[in-house]
Amino acid sequence: MQVHTAIYHPDLINEELYQAALTRVNSDTRSRIQRFYRREDACRTLIGALLLRLLLRKRGIAVESMAVANTPEGKPYLVDQKLDDEIGFNITHDSALISMAFAPGAYNPPAFSIGIDVMKTQLPARDTVDSFIAMFEGQLTDLEKAQLTPDLPAEERIRRFYWMWTVKEAYTKALGLGLGYDFSRVEFDAVRREIRIDSQAPKGWRFTLFTTSDGADLYEGVVSEFIGGDLAEIRDQASKDTTSWMSILDAATVLERAVDELPSIL
């Protein structure tokens, strides 16, 4: 499993670079990006699409012939991959961070079982810690709620909550499920660093927890992937060296590479 991450600073992406990078995605993707009202949302989607295309180019796949489809539940996957070289991927973004996780396709084609979620560990404007957590109580387990009590420091409560939420999001993304999955079926014990699905250890699943910073902003992320076997594996990589499996670039550099390395598709 690998993760490619881009950090998006809008002031570093001028109009010329943005328009040039748009020509490196196909017409359907380009139309979808251009429908966004806010330029920031368009850029995040464009960056995610280019992360995938740059990966495929590195793997020797002609990006102009690449096709992405969606499962009935809406999970994207690559069409017509070579059977001995298939990959699964998942892309997520929050605030300044855009991340793509990918791994060899081994289980549950065509989208395969991999999911990623990242979240900036801050409260939305005008929310208190209590009011923010209360909005999600119906999707937390009794143990999770007990680990978010007001007697804890506010910063610790926020960090614990985001670990719980990113675990839930990454797992359901790996399953390829849309809205409607009961998040309270997924439990993250933030103290013991244990995960349970329907009160059981998730056999065959690996969860990788990591953190990334953008200046003073801290992001928590989780990759969930089904790798088979009888064990449930939790890789706690938070605040550790992740350079062996995660690359981080400024988003402007991603766009510049795309313009330099990918063919124009018009």
Does residue 118 lie within any of the structural domains?
Answer: yes
What is the total count of domains within the chain?
1
CATH number at residue 169: 3.90.470.20
Domain enclosing residue 240, as ranges? 7-261
Print burial letters for 175-184: b (CB count within 10 Å at least 16), e (below 16). bbeeeeeebb
Residue 198 DSSP symbol: T
Instruction: Give residue-wise pLDDT tens across range 147-164.
Output: 999 999 999 999 999 999
Whole-number pLDDT of residue 95: 95
Whole-number pLDDT of residue 133: 96
List beta partners, residue 217.
214
Does residue 51 lie within any of the structural domains?
Answer: yes
Q: Beta strands 233-236 and 205-214: pairing type?
A: parallel
Does residue 166 lie within any of the structural domains?
Answer: yes
Instruction: Give residue-wise pLDDT tens across range 16-64.
Output: 999 999 999 999 999 999 999 999 999 999 999 999 999 999 988 888 7
Does residue 174 lie within any of the structural domains?
Answer: yes
Other C-beta atoms closer than 10 Å to the C-beta of 74 total 11
DSSP string spanning 217-265? EEEEEEEEEE--SS--EEEE-TTS--TTTEEEEEHHHHHHHHHHHSPP-
